[in-house]
Structure 1
Amino acid sequence: MSIPTPHPFAFDPAYGLTLADLRAIAPPEAPAGFEAFWQKRYLQALAVDPHPELKASDSKHPDWQVLDIVYTSTGGVRIGGWLLLPKDGPVRRGLVVGHGYGGRDQPDFDLPLEETAILFPCFRGLSRSPHPPISANAFFHVLHDIDKPERYVIGGCVEDLWLAVSALLALYPGLDGHIGYSGISFGGGIGALAIPFDERIRRGQLTVPTFGDRKRWLGLPTTGSAAAVQAYQKHHGSVFETLRLYDAACAARRITVPMLAAVALFDPAVAPPCQFAVANALPQSKFNEIFILDAGHFDYPEAARQNAVLLDRLSLFFKAL
């Protein structure tokens, strides 16, 4: 690892664990009814017509046609975002890209993909998808309806992803069988929960995914969204039974499509043991790859080089769609 020391945190964001320790972490067992819970939600989401609406965006780029998009998700929630289309050449594949808990203020123009329609949705309550009373502040967003397992906001965000796929297919029916998903941090956890239940998503890429191994997630010191939930639990009682239904590692056990997971050895916002619980849950397959980063949610000397290598891997990975 090339992490500079000393770091500014009051705890060790590597948690004293080596790569061998992290690779040995076993994902938790899912609670009873886990699959039925998500399959029911998926079927309900599949019945929603997203009615995608497009208009020219104020954002401009030399290689991409940039469009603003709005579509309808479950509960009538309107989801805003961006759609990038190649200026030259056909559209042969689709990619939905999820954001971190900081939200998103523009598309990622540096994704090295060609002949791809790339949809950047903002999950409900965040950035271009305001939906009061859901807070746009990550530390309050993660708590919205946490005491109501069927209505917890994270489930709605998973449905927003499924409806993003529906929106792409409504616009480009020929993309059926050629849609992937890429998500980082919050978007990585949402992706892990969504992919196993949506056969329309044929490949997935997760970077430093959160929401894995909720028991650890609730117990390890962090600067991320788990800190808000830990504080809530201290004052309001255990939320573990709710969170078990939203465990990204339990869901990842059920993923059958090719996956590329990038996980970090040091991360103050998403504890590495929780990231590796997700990555380790993926089935052993020649089509799956685990990419190791020195750190997540933290600047370090090798960051630019490692992220460039990861982008190259991502490009090759999604070309197979």
Structure 2
Amino acid sequence: MAGFPHSFPFDPSYGYTLESLLRVEAPVAPEDFADFWQARYRRALAVAPEPRLQPWPEHREGYAVYDLEYRSTDDFTLGGWLLMPQGRPVRRGLVVGHGYGGRDAPDFDLPVADAVLLFPCFRGLSRSRRPPISDQPYWHVLHDIDQRDRYILGGCVEDLWLAVSVLTGLFPAIAGHIGYMGISFGGGIGALALPWDARIRRAHLSVPTFGHHPLRLELPTVGSGCAIRDYQRRHGNVMDTLRYYDAASAATQVDVPVQVAAALFDPAVAPPGQFAIYNALAGPKSLYVLEAGHFDYPAKARQESELREVLADFFAEL
């Protein structure tokens, strides 16, 4: 059982062992779960993203870097970055999602060669802030949670699909060679998006959230799950919406290769929810077990280095 000295008023391993985590099943999805998401996907693909690129003021060796804006659903303008490799051909593309802390800049050290990289900021966060959506995780995750069809997470999934549309529009030759990488919030959004978009051919999800909402409501955390637990205590109707936004339920529909990094100890994203997503994946999958997530621990640098090597091999097949 994972365990580290900590000051949290709860056990971030929740009493689970690796063996018991690997037995966590996805909750039963609504009968119209697939219909709900397929209809959203069709509507999203009808949107022309109209990307606008401006050279980024900072030079980075090996990349041409651009500030990016594009249009998503609900006429939402999203900001982000596009990195195009210089001096080598573009053979693949990768959309890179961020955690609930947002993103201040793109990553320049991802282990994916010959790839154009698109870093979107999901609606309401970082470069895509827009009132009245709060950029604070506690409030962002509650935005329109009482309206199933308008809940903020659905819009964020559509933002990801439109990012793929940007890549295929700007670089038609990489169609069939597009992947996704997302951590925490971005991992959960990725799991929700993957089943319905055949343009995404493989994905990496790191400590993904939004898995098994019924369990999340039982387990204390310091992350977005805390906000949802508080909302449920006040209103009692949160599952009317969340049963349609369960990343573990979505994972049962995923048939492309997925690499998951899931943690045994995590105060922000309870491990049973992470493993529920991995366990439910219906297609080829691989697991890298982190000792902890959202937490500093002695082996963190070593595990991050090992995971980089895993991902280099994984995305080499993209």
TM-score normalised by the chain length of structure 2: 0.98
Structure 2 residue 108 is matched with structure 1 residue 126: no
Structure 2 gaps, min length 5:
none
- Partners of 2:142 and 2:304 lie apart in 1 by 31
Aligned match of 1:221: 220
- Partners of 2:276 and 2:156 lie apart in 1 by 21
- Partners of 2:108 and 2:7 lie apart in 1 by 31
The CA deviation at 1:237 is 2.3
Q: Secondary structure at the match of 2:148?
A: coil
Aligned match of 2:177: 178
* Equivalent AA in structure 1 for residue 33 of structure 2: F
1:204-243 matched pairs, under 5 angstroms? 204-243=203-242
- Partners of 1:59 and 1:207 lie apart in 2 by 28
- Partners of 1:84 and 1:53 lie apart in 2 by 14
* Equivalent AA in structure 2 for residue 295 of structure 1: A
**Conserved? CA contact 1:2–1:301, under 8 Å:** no
**Conserved? CA contact 2:88–2:114, under 8 Å:** yes
Q: RMSD in angstroms over aligned alpha carbons?
A: 1.1
**Conserved? CA contact 2:2–2:264, under 8 Å:** no
Aligned match of 1:317: 314
The CA deviation at 1:66 is 1.1
Identity %: 58
Aligned match of 2:79: 80
The CA deviation at 1:2 is 7.0
**Conserved? CA contact 1:69–1:82, under 8 Å:** yes
Q: Quick check: 61-70 or 270-279, which moved more? A: 61-70
**Conserved? CA contact 2:2–2:265, under 8 Å:** no
- Partners of 2:236 and 2:23 lie apart in 1 by 31
Q: Deviations over 1:144-196 (max 9, x none)?
A: 00000000000000000000000011110111101000000000000000000
Aligned match of 2:20: 21
Q: Quick check: 36-45 or 228-237, which moved more? A: 228-237
Q: Secondary structure at the match of 1:188?
A: helix
Q: Secondary structure at the match of 1:195?
A: helix
Aligned match of 1:102: 101
Aligned match of 2:193: 194
- Partners of 2:84 and 2:67 lie apart in 1 by 11
Q: Deviations over 1:216-235 (max 9, x none)?
A: 11110000001011111211
Q: Deviations over 1:6-40 (max 9, x none)?
A: x1111000001110010111111111210000000
TM-score normalised by the chain length of structure 1: 0.97
**Conserved? CA contact 2:3–2:13, under 8 Å:** no
Structure 1 gaps, min length 5:
none
1:248-287 matched pairs, under 5 angstroms? 248-283=247-282, 287=284
